Structure 1
Amino acid sequence: MPLTTSAFTDPALANRTSASAPIVRREDHDRVALVVLDRPKSRNALSDAMLAALAETFSGLAEERRIRAVVLAAEGPVFCAGHDLKEMTAHRTDPDRGRAYFADLLGRCAAVMQAVVNLPQPVIAAVNGTATAAGCQLVASCDLAIAAANARFCTPGVDIGLFCSTPMVALSRNVAPKHAMAMLLTGDMVDAAEAARIGLVNRVVEPGRERPEALVLAERIAAKSAVAIRHGKRAFYRQRELPLADAYHYAATVMTENMMARDAEEGIDAFIGKRRPTWEDQ
């Protein structure tokens, strides 16, 4: 059972049934935080309020050492439909035709995606239904992903004259270039099996099992040394942007620091002594 629950809503609107009141719900399952996009009537679109709620949620999680893994899920038949196009279109009447708003919106969205990557805890997407455009970007930004067999993914901006350039960043760092380009150039839907084949998700499960399976996986990760996981996640993303020699030098530096941690000493001693380690997260 969850230990605690909390909700983040548009402060201007308390009615959670309102289409303009996106909600991010959090439930803590022992050492795992379940973060749920809870605006199904609006397809969990990344509106201004939704992005603000996600940013606040991830900012809080980054400071919580008690939480050792995060599962990101969504209510309703759509995981996330990407940006709220109606909200964006409303800014066409701005004096600059929305240019400043669009730049700010995309910057805030990029910050949320990077917050997922920069969280010290691993983040597992539990994907039901469809994840399109920036919604697909959100899945690709997570460290791991488990998808329901009925899940589908696409970057369909090209169909409306708007190439999915920002989703491309996360997508192209998860799948091979030709697979990424095929999705970006055609806008075609990719089913869950194909998403697993090309590396966008880790595993496909029966519909309704994606969230429980993600929670089980998160708890397995939460049982590891948190200090080792923090070192490893940060290093994973940093090293792959470096040339090979630099990557090895950086990884060796990180591993040396990790070796000096109390948990590494305890883990090695436990392995040699054939006993279960007791983590101190130091």
Structure 2
Amino acid sequence: MSAVPVPDDQPMLLREDRNGVTTLTLNRPAQFNSLSFAMLETLIAAVDEIARDESVRVVVLAGEGKAFCAGHDLKEMRANHALEFQQRLFRLCGKFMMKLTEMPQPVIARVHGIATAAGCQLVSMCDLAVAADVARFAVSGINVGLFCATPGVGLSRNMGRKEAFEMLVTGDFIDAREAQRRGLVNRVVPIEQLDDEIAALAASIVAKSPVAIRMGKQLFYKQLEMGIDAAYQVAAETMACNAMCEDAAEGIDAFIAKRKPAFKGR
């Protein structure tokens, strides 16, 4: 893994590239990978770079140490107790979360430990999530007098509103199986199988047409915010444009000829 440069020259974020899959690992284990201002800036720079790199087909977001991510850095928040700083911090966090949705590559959360508050938000904003059976999830800001308003945006778009609101007002943890039942994660496996499960999921995506994945991800999030009629219109246009791509012609020809397609990303 290579360290991504940050203002204080510490390896706050690690990057590993292998077979079209880039793994970004939050590397503040002593702080449970909390999302400090510098960490958020570093993450934004990293995903912006990856979004422009067509050789990267899938992104895996992981955490070093015991936790996946424990949310915002509360010590930093208390040390900068001014409205202007709090506004900048939460806007920056929202900007990063939207980057995950806007980047062309699918993003998989690798959740091996606790994901709390903005860490739970991070899981909710990844396109996919695979969790170890020992992982736990909470939006626990309410326990320190802070309603997890921004995590609630992603949470309420992953699960039923009553289930999301209960988590927000109680701060209670749910386990990985319950998180899967509620739609927060896709798969739950024993922790010793976590990397193999993610590798298999990533490989399945890498094997598909890059242009279809890019177009499909963009359309998926766009239509979610629309009424059903408008959603069908934009989806129909996307499918028509996708059908004109070289990869679609190759894929259909390969299917008819009963051979494996050779996608080129066009």
TM range (shorter): over 0.9
Task: Give structure 2 stretches of 5+ with no counterpart.
Answer: none
CA shift, 1:9, in A, is 4.5
Per the alignment, residue 61 of structure 1 pairs with: 50
1:119 is displaced (CA, Å) by 1.2
> Aligned runs of 1:16-165 on 2, under 5 Å?
23-92=12-81, 98-165=82-149
1:218 aligned to which of 202, 212, 232: 202
Amino acid at match of 2:2: S
User: TM-score, with normalisation over the residues of structure 1?
Assistant: 0.92
Contact 1:69/1:123, CA 8 A, preserved across alignment: yes
Rounded Cα–Cα distance in structure 2 between residues aligned with 1:99 and 1:211: 41
1:8 is matched with 4
| Structural mapping, 1:136-215, within 5 Å | 136-215=120-199
Q: Is the 8 A contact 1:9 1:49 kept in 2?
A: no
Does the CA contact (< 8 Å) of 1:37 and 1:44 recur in 2? yes
Name 2:240's counterpart in structure 1.
256
Once the two structures are aligned, what percentage of the paired residues are identical?
50
State the alpha-carbon separation in 2 of the partners of residues 210 and 46 from structure 1: 23
Q: CA deviation at 1:75?
A: 1.0
Distance in 2, Cα, partners of 1:118 & 1:6: 25
Q: Any idea what SS the aligned residue of 1:275 has? A: coil
The one-character-per-residue Cα deviations of 1:230-252 (angstroms, maximum 9, x if unpaired) are 01111111101100111001100
Q: In structure 2, give the amino acid aligned to 1:8.
A: V
Q: Which runs of 5+ in 1 are unaligned?
A: 17-22, 93-97
SS of the aligned residue for 1:266 comes to: helix
> Within 2, Cα distance between the matches of 1:208 and 1:26?
22
The count of aligned residue pairs is: 266
**Partners of 1:255 and 1:44 in 2: CA distance:** 40
- SS of residue in 1 equivalent to 2:54: coil
Provide closer, same or farther for how the CA distance between residues 275 and 13 of structure 1 changes in structure 2, counting only shifts above 3 A: closer
The one-letter code matched in structure 2 to 1:83 is H
In angstroms, what is the RMSD of aligned CA positions? 1.1
- TM-superposed CA distance for 1:212, in Å, is 2.9
Superposed displacement of residue 159, structure 1 = 1.3
Whichever residue aligns with residue 71 of structure 1, its letter is V
> Contact 1:79–1:135 (CA<8 Å) still a contact in 2?
yes
Q: Distance in 2 between matches of 1:267 and 1:100?
A: 52
Post-superposition Cα deviations, 1:57-96, rounded to whole Å, max 9, x if no partner, equal: 101110000111111111111100100011011112xxxx
What secondary structure sits across from 2:25 in the alignment? strand
The one-letter code of the counterpart of 1:250 is V
Counterpart-to-counterpart distance in 1, 2:211 and 2:203: 16
- Deviation of 1:228 after TM superposition, in Å, equals 0.2
Separation in 2, partners of 1:87, 1:9: 21
1:6 Cα shift? 2.2
- Which AA in structure 2 matches 1:7? A
Does the Cα contact within 8 Å between 1:71 and 1:215 map onto a contact in 2?
no
What SS does the aligned partner of 1:79 have? coil
Q: 1:19 aligns to what?
A: none
Secondary structure of the 2:191 match is coil
Number of the residue aligned with 1:233: 217
Matched position secondary structure for 1:208:
helix
- Counterparts of 2:60 and 2:224 in 1: how far apart (Å)? 24
Q: Report deviation, 1:8.
A: 2.0
